Structure 1
Amino acid sequence: MEGHIIVCGDDPLGLRIIEQLRTAGREIAVVFSSSELNDAGIAKAAALICADDDDALNLEIALLARQLNPDVRVVARLGNSVLREAVALGNGPGAILDVADLAAPSVVEACLSRTTHSISAAGIEFVVSGTDAPRSATLREIFGDLAPIAVVRGENSPTPGEVVACPGRDVGVSEGDWTAMIGTAEELVAQGISVAPPVATTVEVGHHGARGYHQHRRKPLKRVLDAVRAFRDDVNPNFFKAFAASMALLLGATVLLRYSFNDAPTGMTFIDALYFSAETITTVGYGDFSFIDQPTWLRLFGVGLMFAGITSSAVLMAFVADLLLSRRIAQNAGLRKVRELQDHIVVVGLGTFGIRVVADLKAAGHDVVVIERSPDNRFLSSAAELDVPVIFGDATLPATLDSARIDDAVAVAVLTQSDMINIETGIVLRERLGARWKRSDTTPGVPVVLRVYDRALGAAVSQRFGFENVRSTVELAAPWFIGTAMGLQVFGTFSVGQQSFMVGGVEVAPGSELDGLRMAEMSTQTRVIAIARGPGNVQLHPRRDTQLFAGDTAYLVGPHRELLDTLHKGQRVTA
């Protein structure tokens, strides 16, 4: 073989990459260790994709492949940020990618109910944003020359929920259909489509936590009220009874000594009586007052007062110790911090992907609470650096959800590494949230984002249980690995409904299938948003009769399978 692609990885991402490459008609070889590289033809391969979930294996194969063939495009998956940065320096052709970096923005946008995606291509900041169709008409009549990306059919359509990818401008829509368009921010605003500001993201996530976020500050009065409520919740209810008994003992002894203690010539004042009662109850006995010269009954009262004082003091100290201990445990478990939050986002699962989503949400200025099963999770230190409370427990249990104050949350992201756990948790959340589960005319709803690796399973779960935000990290990340391995420019991926889209660019090679092709002859599920014909010469939204020529760089958007096929045609030289 020559010019083939070698793939390493038997997890869902690796299998998805292999499936898509075979569908695209590319020759591939699969390896499972570095010792198989020579037999797989590394010397003549066009690219190597290391997509296993084992960083050590990916690193070993990538480094050895670079030694065996300095010109091969090496695309490696590395979750460790330190290794990723070190290997990326001087890597040569290819890229070092992290699945969390590629897929986290889509989850963050879903948590924030954002419909705006910003993607830079051809030196232009393109914006994908959507709105409900205000009336029944064609897309051209409503939005002019804006490029439509997708239409999600609404309740007034014969096929509600259907996603139409890259429809033509003359496609008709019904009132209420969700329409996603792409253009510059100015073009979208001119057509009445609102453009949200970009979400702040972290600069770095890994061993050193994240930088670039700011913490939401509560008002002073709110902090005081939260502190009072936290104290009330932490204190054992019997503490107040014991405290009241101690105060009654102190005040009773003070009044009795004030009127019964014989201290010539004037007896005791109230201050003296209070002072003597306090030192007797606490058994301090400084020697400035004494029962030695008092009547027998008063001396016996003093004995009883000392025993009662020891008992009440011991009980109070026990409650104080319990309070301090419970507050410490609560703080270590994140419970106290959760009480101080409002309008927070709950993230279930603190893995490589989860910590990246948490960091991005913090960077966007949102309070976050994490639910994690394992107290030995290696990302706990990163969560601590982000000042994110962690609740340990099973997210399907009511007690755990109560601890995370799920009823006060504005969004939930379920991101564990198990599809079954994520689906089960999503079903429990659907029942718990009740009427807040979905958006309506009167409530914005609580977005519940589920990470489901298997694309087909995710689609089935979405349809069966009504989940609106199912995200497959495999589906979002695979196009980056494949596109980069094929020598293409991948600028971003995003989701509309349950459909994943990709933005990419390809330089049209002489004699390729794209050389001389008119826009009207392009795939019906891809759209050319710009053509660069040279430095500073960029044509936006080309017309149907516009042709591509060798040397042009075409920037396209569409479902990634069709888009990768179109991008590949730009490199394929016809016979």
Structure 2
Amino acid sequence: MTSTLHLRMPVGQRSQHMVICGDDGLARRLAVELDAVCGEAVTVVLPSRRDEHGAEIAALHRDPLSPVELLVAARPDEQTLRAAGVERATALALTYGDDQTNMTAALVARGLNPSIRLVIRMYHRERGRHLERLLDRAAEVRAPAGDATADTSAIADTSADASTTVLSDTDTAVPELVSAAALGHGHTLQIDGKVFRGVVRRAGAPAQSTDLATLAVLSGAHQDDPAGEDSAETPGEDGTQLLPDTHTAYHRQFTHGRLMLEEVTHHHAPEAPTVSRGYGERLRGHLRHLPWRVFLSREVTAVFGALAAIVLLLAVATALVEDGPLWRAVYLPLLDIFTMGDPAIGEEESAARRVLQLVAGFVGLAVLPLVVAATMNASEAFRTASANHPPAEDLGDHIVLIGLGKVGTRVLAQLRTTAHQVVAVERDPHARGVALARELGIPLLLEDASAAGVLEQARIRQSKSLLVLTRDDSENLDIVMAAREINPGIRVVMRLYDDDFAATVSATMRASYPAVLTRSRSVSALAAPAFAAAMMGRHVLGVMPVERGSLLFTVVEVAGHPELEGRSVHQAFRENEWRVLAVGASGARLTARASDTLAGFPTTLQGLDWRPPHGRILRAGDRVVLATTRRGLDVLMTGVQPHPPSRRT
């Protein structure tokens, strides 16, 4: 779809391009994704050319081979959207950090171009669902009439997919974080209630039972992560071949790495804790595990020890100057210290007794505040420690999750739908994820993870992965470095807000610990592929970078596609262009609403056969999931590019 024509035309006269409006790193990341990975012509609207993101977009624009244009505008009002060519664009992404700004711009854009695909970043989920329905309804009402000012070819090409997709960058980043922590390398895709990822098999490595298809034969034998930040930049002798035929894939597997599509897991609901013990036994067990030792802390024992010594001294002095039983010699100093009455004012009281009472009163004034403070501190420590649910002493091979904020809470919820055991650490007892952790019954430490001994309490030495998701970049790095000292082989995934800092940290950690995974990414970097997929249309389920190329995962109705209809799965394959991954009956219109997506990928496809027989005939009533190159997708969507016969698998 990208051509040199896009590079020559002024911004406002471009057609069939994509427009991105934003004010932070997500806009820049999305521009890079659409340009470098998807090959789209992009116009980016940013508030300033001089800030960090504007300068980087300007650098892309200066590349003569890049179709990226930069338009500087303070707000995405109607004038700005017209100047960006929204009337002739195929898609518009609104990624501002303010929901109101995105909503207003979306309503204006739908009025300017009823056929445009809208991808909107929203923090408020319910508001986003309402906005989707409103804008989709507006598109259905206005699309038949068209727009006299719009490019008719663009409308003809996109009217069937004038969709509105509302996404949260937090929600779209969560699956990648979970995948990196639980599985290691590989981009994830969730369809039909199943989770898939692209995983590299090294040269000579045998196939696994979970492998579904060969997506690519890589340019070298030792790439670990061709789809991520660890990818090699120098192609090998034979280059990377996307969607190879069976003959090529078989013979090059001994000398080259392969990118395989692997079925990871089925989601399942977390198991409810079983209740087998009686109430009395559970109560005794709870009392037995309460942190009573906090009342024996150094502070408490010092204060109450000093108080006991003072009482003892006054009791001895009282016994020497007053006649009476021993209990009275102890009782009277206690009354005096706590100012509980019985003043020595009677004529029968001796002068010594009065002096001792005054001394005891002054001692009480000095000691009682210390007693109260020590008691309150011990009570607070007891309350906090009681809220902790430390992991069992035999727990191992688990994931340690640090930070239960907005991202951490959603990561925790998704981790608990898998078979992985989790230990959570959060210093704020009022964080939103604390209640969820307690409800799920997972081990929880309400401690500062950077404090000495906390990682040991989380059994970091026995864990397999560490997820660090606090809001402080420096603290995240401190925690990771401490964890690496304790367990050099642990897999580490951390969220960092600064992209450059994240890249530097990843490179340094990989150099220091080359044998284990360290992944540091920003939420905008993780969310960008999902936003890019949504901008390309609801038929696009995901985008997977592969070294210097990319693969698109799409859903296509077989009816009306002569390249598919009436052919077997074997015959429908086109080398380097597309491969059928799954087949199912055609159902309701595919949706991509926020409530039905994970990382922006629709999850409403039901009943797909992910291992279809090669002889299975594709009929008009079928729907297929394909892995395609960009060229292959253009052929399927337009049907106008001729292809010579290709070798079948």
TM-score bracket for this pair, using the shorter chain length: 0.5 to 0.7
Q: Distance in 1 between matches of 2:336 and 2:534?
A: 82
Counterpart mapping for 1:1-400 below 5 A:
1-9=14-22, 11-23=24-36, 24-32=38-46, 33-34=76-77, 35-92=79-136, 93-111=163-181, 121=191, 124-128=192-196, 138-139=206-207, 143=209, 146-147=212-213, 159=222, 161=224, 170=250, 182-183=262-263, 198=268, 221=285, 224-233=288-297, 235=299, 238-249=302-313, 252=316, 261=323, 268-286=324-342, 292-293=347-348, 299-323=350-374, 326=377, 341-342=390-391, 345=400, 347=402, 350=405, 353-354=407-408, 356-357=410-411, 366=422, 368-370=424-426, 382=432
TM-score of the aligned structures, taking structure 1 as reference length: 0.66
Gaps of 5+ in 1: 186-194, 202-211, 262-267, 373-378, 393-399, 440-444
Q: Deviations over 1:242-280 (max 9, x none)?
A: 2331442465367658xx52xxxxxx4555554444334
Moved more, 36-45 or 400-409: 400-409
Distance 1:573-1:282 versus aligned 2 partners, 3 A rule: same
Cα deviation for residue 107 of structure 1 reads 1.9
SS of equivalent to 1:487: coil
Q: Distance in 2 between matches of 1:531 and 1:461?
A: 44
Is 1:476 the counterpart of 2:526 in the alignment? yes
Q: What is aligned with 1:554?
A: 624
Distance 1:148-1:367 versus aligned 2 partners, 3 A rule: same
Maintained 8 Å contact 1:383/1:389: no
Q: Distance in 2 between matches of 1:432 and 1:369?
A: 15
Distance 1:132-1:532 versus aligned 2 partners, 3 A rule: closer
Distance 1:27-1:166 versus aligned 2 partners, 3 A rule: closer
**Match among 537, 553, 570 for residue 636 of structure 2:** 570
Superposition CA RMSD, Å: 5.4
Q: Distance in 2 between matches of 1:237 and 1:492?
A: 62
Maintained 8 Å contact 2:177/2:493: no
Partner amino acid, structure 2, of 1:239: V
Partner amino acid, structure 2, of 1:143: S
Is 1:523 the counterpart of 2:576 in the alignment? yes
Q: Deviations over 1:112-156 (max 9, x none)?
A: 5689999653xx4434489999996642xx539743679999xxx
Partner amino acid, structure 1, of 2:636: G
Cα deviation for residue 95 of structure 1 reads 0.8
Q: What is aligned with 2:157?
A: none
Cα deviation for residue 551 of structure 1 reads 7.4
Partner amino acid, structure 2, of 1:230: V
SS of equivalent to 1:31: strand
Maintained 8 Å contact 1:3/1:45: yes
Give the paired residue count. 499
Moved more, 242-251 or 89-98: 242-251
Distance 1:359-1:106 versus aligned 2 partners, 3 A rule: same
Maintained 8 Å contact 2:426/2:447: yes
Q: Distance in 1 between matches of 2:433 and 2:331?
A: 50
Q: Deviations over 1:375-411 (max 9, x none)?
A: xxxx96646766888778xxxxxxx711682333346
Q: What is aligned with 1:264?
A: none
Distance 1:274-1:20 versus aligned 2 partners, 3 A rule: closer
Q: Distance in 1 between matches of 2:377 and 2:544?
A: 45
Q: Distance in 2 between matches of 1:496 and 1:414?
A: 27
Partner amino acid, structure 2, of 1:65: A
SS of equivalent to 1:309: helix
Partner amino acid, structure 1, of 2:574: E
Maintained 8 Å contact 2:425/2:447: yes
Cα deviation for residue 46 of structure 1 reads 2.5
Maintained 8 Å contact 2:300/2:378: no
**Match among 444, 464, 473 for residue 511 of structure 2:** 464
Q: Distance in 1 between matches of 2:361 and 2:545?
A: 68
Q: Distance in 1 between matches of 2:523 and 2:82?
A: 31
Q: Distance in 2 between matches of 1:496 and 1:305?
A: 87
Cα deviation for residue 371 of structure 1 reads 6.1
Q: Deviations over 1:145-195 (max 9, x none)?
A: 743679999xxx973746599886737879xx9997634x8xxxxxxxxx5
Gaps of 5+ in 2: 1-13, 47-75, 137-162, 228-241, 275-281, 393-398, 439-443, 588-605, 642-649
Q: Distance in 2 between matches of 1:496 and 1:406?
A: 36
SS of equivalent to 2:625: strand
Maintained 8 Å contact 2:291/2:385: no
Q: Distance in 2 between matches of 1:281 and 1:569?
A: 93
Q: Deviations over 1:535-565 (max 9, x none)?
A: 59955335678787887533145xxxx7666
Q: Distance in 1 between matches of 2:112 and 2:223?
A: 54
Q: Deviations over 1:489-531 (max 9, x none)?
A: 455789999x99975423468468878795552438x754203
Q: Distance in 2 between matches of 1:255 and 1:120?
A: 82
SS of equivalent to 1:143: coil
Distance 1:150-1:521 versus aligned 2 partners, 3 A rule: closer
SS of equivalent to 1:75: strand
Q: Deviations over 1:440-470 (max 9, x none)?
A: xxxxx36443446469667645633444333
Distance 1:255-1:152 versus aligned 2 partners, 3 A rule: farther
Distance 1:329-1:301 versus aligned 2 partners, 3 A rule: same
Cα deviation for residue 313 of structure 1 reads 2.6
Distance 1:166-1:543 versus aligned 2 partners, 3 A rule: farther
Maintained 8 Å contact 1:138/1:172: no
SS of equivalent to 2:295: helix
SS of equivalent to 1:170: helix
Q: What is aligned with 2:455?
A: 406
Q: Distance in 2 between matches of 1:338 and 1:496?
A: 46
Partner amino acid, structure 2, of 1:347: I
SS of equivalent to 1:322: helix
Q: What is aligned with 1:207?
A: none
Distance 1:143-1:246 versus aligned 2 partners, 3 A rule: same
Distance 1:416-1:238 versus aligned 2 partners, 3 A rule: closer
Maintained 8 Å contact 1:150/1:163: no
Cα deviation for residue 103 of structure 1 reads 0.9
**Match among 427, 433, 449 for residue 494 of structure 2:** 449
Cα deviation for residue 349 of structure 1 reads 9.1
SS of equivalent to 1:401: coil
Partner amino acid, structure 1, of 2:623: T
Distance 1:391-1:359 versus aligned 2 partners, 3 A rule: farther
Distance 1:380-1:61 versus aligned 2 partners, 3 A rule: farther
Moved more, 33-42 or 360-369: 360-369
Cα deviation for residue 43 of structure 1 reads 3.2
SS of equivalent to 2:291: helix
Maintained 8 Å contact 2:469/2:476: no
Distance 1:468-1:200 versus aligned 2 partners, 3 A rule: farther
SS of equivalent to 2:165: strand
Q: What is aligned with 1:206?
A: none
Q: Distance in 1 between matches of 2:629 and 2:110?
A: 29
